[in-house]
Structure formats: C-alpha cells, structure tokens
Structure 1
Amino acid sequence: MTELTAAQRHAVLQTVAAERLEGWQPTGDDLTDLDALAVGTVTHEDYIERHRSAASTRAVPRRRRLALPRPYLVTGTSVLRNNFGFRDQTQLRDVEYAATAARLIQAHLQQAPTPRQVDAEYIFGLHGRVFGDVFGWAGQQRIVDITKNGDGFAPVGAIGRYLREVEIAVAATDWHRADRGRLAYALATVYATYNHAHPFREGNGRTGTLLLHQLVSSTGFLLDLSGIDAAEWVAASRDSAPFRRTGAPSPRPMIPVLRRALVDRSDGRMV
C-alpha cells in the first residue's frame, strides 16, 4: 500500500470523522478502502460497486408495508428513494456511508472555493456532489418540513431566508486574518444557521461539516473534527436551535466545540 501524503491522510481522517458524527462505525476494511481511494489505487466506480454488492447480500427482514406513499420514500416503505433500488434501511445506510465518504475524500483533495464563492447555490451544489451517487434528489431543497428527535428545523418556506443569513455571515468574516476566537465564532454562526435551515431531506450534517472545512482552508488554521464526540456535537447543534422555528439560532453552544477543533497551521502539522 502506497503511503498517504499529509493531505491525503487529512482527507481520510476528516472524512471518517464527519461520517462518525452521523453514526458510521467503519471496519478495518472500510478504512483500507478509503486509503486506497485517496492514493488512487482503486477507482471510484470499483469502490462503489464493491460496497453496493456487499450491501445487496445482506439478509433483508420482512417488514409491514406502509399503506400510503410519502414524498422521498420508496413506495410501501420508510426507506428513502435511492439510486441503488434498496428497500431496506440497513442496506441503504451501508452503501450511503461508503459512497458519501468517497465523495468527501475527493472534495477534501480538491482546491476549496474562496469564501466569496460560497452562497446558497454553492451549498446546493456541494450536497449534490457528495450525495449524487445515492439520491436522485441530491442538491435539491427539501419540500417537506422535518423534525429530528423531536426538534423542528426551519419550515420549508423559511429555508431561503436562513441560507441568506449564512451568506451574510460568510461575507462578514475576514477569513484570511481571523484569529482562533473570531474564527470559532464565525464557523459556529455559519453552522448553527445552516443547520437550522436544514435545506436537504438527508445529508445536512456531512454537507455542513465539509463547508466548514472549506471555509477554514482560507485561514491560518485546519479543522480537525476527529476528536469531537458525536454526542457532544449533536448536543451543541441541538442547543444552537432557536426557541421558535422562525427565530434566530445561537452560535454560542458550537463555539467551544469548534474552537477546540481548530489547529494552527504554523506548527507544521497536518492532522
């Protein structure tokens, strides 16, 4: 196995960190596959097919069919419509983690946009690139209101307003000169606002953390999420939500988490 460069190692480490925040528990083989992708010893197509085939061999338990069709769901199931034709949630999650991890690595290894290129349209495109292998509706704004663990996100009609607030927060920050404190505040503001907008039916977290990495690339720091516990991240995200669904999110709960994840580039270390 070819040894990873510092940039490739960083891409794999931060990809795994982002997926773990969403519940992935990668095996040793999964990590080996990601290393191979990063150095280019396996093609993207072969990687996807291997994981699709492995997911297809899983035993699928019989479940009670849902009577009514619902937006985004495979008819008769509670499984999101997907490009692999899976009707079982476990099968879909296995291949979704693998497929999006591959795209996240690619994104980390490509040149990041300048902050002035980041707007709502860019965010939709980012989601489309990360989730396009899995969902036909990747990169499209959700058309249903959603809740998670009892917490409601912005109503569909308010998504555009919150994404405009994200644009304003990005434009208001001098990313090239921000110190650690200012940078943690700016990142927390962007993420809290974006997370409440929750513009996509699925994949908001991974798209959001990738966006943070890309914004940090214009600074004197790196973002290392590998030491962030998933429960801590979820709690900070939840606590940043406004008291009312149409109110203003608070960046305060996210600030200490993101401040701790910032690594000064000047120490010569690529996390």
Structure 2
Amino acid sequence: MVFDTWESYFYAETYDPSTGQGTLRNLFDERDPVLLRELEYSETIQRQRESKIFSSFSDVRTGEIDRYLADVHRLVEGTSWMRLDRGGFARAGAEVFAYLNQAHPFRASSGRTSKVFMEHVAEQSCFTLDFGQVSPEVWNQASMLSGPDLRRYEPVSDSLVSVFVAIA
C-alpha cells in the first residue's frame, strides 16, 4: 500500500475528515481503538519483560544515552562513507549500529527507528540496505550479541559485520 496522503495512514472506515483522526493502520489489523490500545499495551509489557531478561540498554538517568548517541554522531561524521568497499562499509555500519542499538533511545520502536537511521547513513555511501536479506531472528541475535561485555562501555560489533555484509 502506498501512503501518499494523510488519510491513507488510517483505515478508511475509521477516518473522520472533520477531525483528521481515525485508527492508524497497524500490524494487528485492528480497527477498534480501544481494543488496539489494549493489544499494544499487552505487546509493550511483553517486550519490556523480554528486554529486562535479555538486554541491558542504556539508562537515561546516567547520561549513557547521550554518550552513546554522541559516539554515533562521531562515528558517522568521521567516516568517509563513499570511499568504503563492501567489507569496510559492513564494519563501519556494524559499529555505528552497535552504538545506536546500545543507546536504545526510545521506549518503543527503537529497532525500527535505528534501521531507518542506518538507511540514511547508507545514503552517504554507494550502498543501500535490504534488511529482508536476513531473518528477524538473525538480526535480533546479532543485535543482542553486540552489547558491551560486562563492566565495559564499548559495544562489540563483530556479530553484526556479517549481517551488514548480507544487507548491503
């Protein structure tokens, strides 16, 4: 589906042109806003439980998010993206993504937002990214493994390099 107008982001039968509001198209294909809210809440709670078990993303209270994002900026700005071959792009992209992933700046949608960000980084190179070249399981596993070692700050991007080779 092409979203070429504001209205096209909503289910047609729920959109009220006088208010500009309705139910956004969603992965649940749910049109009832109350039920959608409950589904999203349940999904968010489940994801939150999973993230406490499997990860240790940055904490906003300690300034870690700001620090990781400053590192992302430094890495992006300090790389001559157009000069990189595929392997160099994969290594540099993996490192940038590892820092961005560790920052995890949003409560929800950090993963999707990070992918969009990486597509913009790739625009500075001769590569495009096709995330469909790896399964969500491979992507998530490599992302999880890129977290810093215990009591360390620096993410370990090694697990992501082969993923970036595949998607570039």
Tell me which interval the TM-score lies in, with the shorter structure as reference length.
0.7 to 0.9
1:243 offset after TM fit, Å? 2.0
Match of 1:148 among 51, 73, 84: 51
Letter of the 1:148 partner, please give it: S
Match of 2:85 among 175, 179, 185: 179
Once residues 56 and 252 of structure 1 are traced to their aligned partners in structure 2, the CA distance between those partners, rounded to angstroms, is 42
- Residue 11 of structure 2 contacts residue 31 of structure 2 at CA under 8 Å; is this kept in 1? no
- Residue 149 of structure 2 contacts residue 156 of structure 2 at CA under 8 Å; is this kept in 1? no
* Pairing 1:253–2:159 present: yes
Match of 1:223?
129
Match of 2:32?
57
Equivalent runs, 1:1-271 vs 2, <5 Å? 33=1, 36-37=2-3, 40=4, 43-50=5-12, 52=23, 55-57=30-32, 60=35, 87-90=37-40, 148=51, 150=53, 151-156=55-60, 157=62, 158-244=64-150, 247-262=153-168
**Residue-pair matches, total:** 148
1:171 offset after TM fit, Å? 1.6
- Residue 94 of structure 2 contacts residue 161 of structure 2 at CA under 8 Å; is this kept in 1? yes
Match of 2:17?
none
Unaligned runs of 5+ in 1: 1-32, 61-85, 94-144, 263-271
Letter of the 1:154 partner, please give it: S
Match of 1:78?
none
Unaligned runs of 5+ in 2: 15-22
Call closer, same or farther: CA 1:170–1:146 in 2, change over 3 Å.
farther
Q: Secondary structure at the match of 1:199?
A: coil
* TM-score of the two chains, using structure 2 as the length reference: 0.76
Q: Which of structure 1's runs of 4+ aligned residues deviate more than 6 A?
A: none
1:192 offset after TM fit, Å? 0.5
For the aligned residues, what is the CA RMSD? 2.8
Once residues 146 and 170 of structure 1 are traced to their aligned partners in structure 2, the CA distance between those partners, rounded to angstroms, is 32
Once residues 147 and 71 of structure 2 are traced to their aligned partners in structure 1, the CA distance between those partners, rounded to angstroms, is 14
* TM-score of the two chains, using structure 1 as the length reference: 0.49
1:251 offset after TM fit, Å? 1.0
Identical-residue share of aligned pairs (%)? 29
Match of 2:19?
none
- Residue 94 of structure 2 contacts residue 158 of structure 2 at CA under 8 Å; is this kept in 1? yes
Higher percent of residues as helix: 2
Once residues 208 and 170 of structure 1 are traced to their aligned partners in structure 2, the CA distance between those partners, rounded to angstroms, is 13
Call closer, same or farther: CA 1:174–1:44 in 2, change over 3 Å.
same
Q: Secondary structure at the match of 2:128?
A: strand
- Residue 233 of structure 1 contacts residue 257 of structure 1 at CA under 8 Å; is this kept in 2? yes
Stretch of structure 1 that moved more, 43-52 or 148-157: 43-52
Once residues 227 and 149 of structure 1 are traced to their aligned partners in structure 2, the CA distance between those partners, rounded to angstroms, is 28
Once residues 245 and 199 of structure 1 are traced to their aligned partners in structure 2, the CA distance between those partners, rounded to angstroms, is 20
1:48 offset after TM fit, Å? 1.8
- Residue 91 of structure 2 contacts residue 161 of structure 2 at CA under 8 Å; is this kept in 1? yes
Once residues 44 and 229 of structure 1 are traced to their aligned partners in structure 2, the CA distance between those partners, rounded to angstroms, is 31
